[in-house]
Amino acid sequence: MKAVASGDLTPGEAQSIGNLLTAYGRSLELHDFEARIARLDERR
């Protein structure tokens, strides 16, 4: 928000970065979920 307010980023650029960070967070969650499932499968 500060970068947009100061003119360092356009609102569109800030939105793109936000989307990228959201996708990255989701991929981390998915990786963790897959690892948990793999550990459960190993116990069987």
pLDDT tens for each residue of 30-39: 999 999 999 9
pLDDT of 8? 96
pLDDT digits (tens, 9 = 90+) for 8-37: 999 999 999 999 999 999 999 999 999 999
Locate 23 and state its tokens. Answer: 């996708």
pLDDT at res. 14: 97
Which has the higher per-residue pLDDT, 40 or 1? 40
The Cα 19–Cα 5 span in angstroms is 19
Domain, as residue range, for 32: 2-43
Number of structural domains the chain divides into: 1
**Residue 1's closest CA among 25, 21, 17, 22?**
17
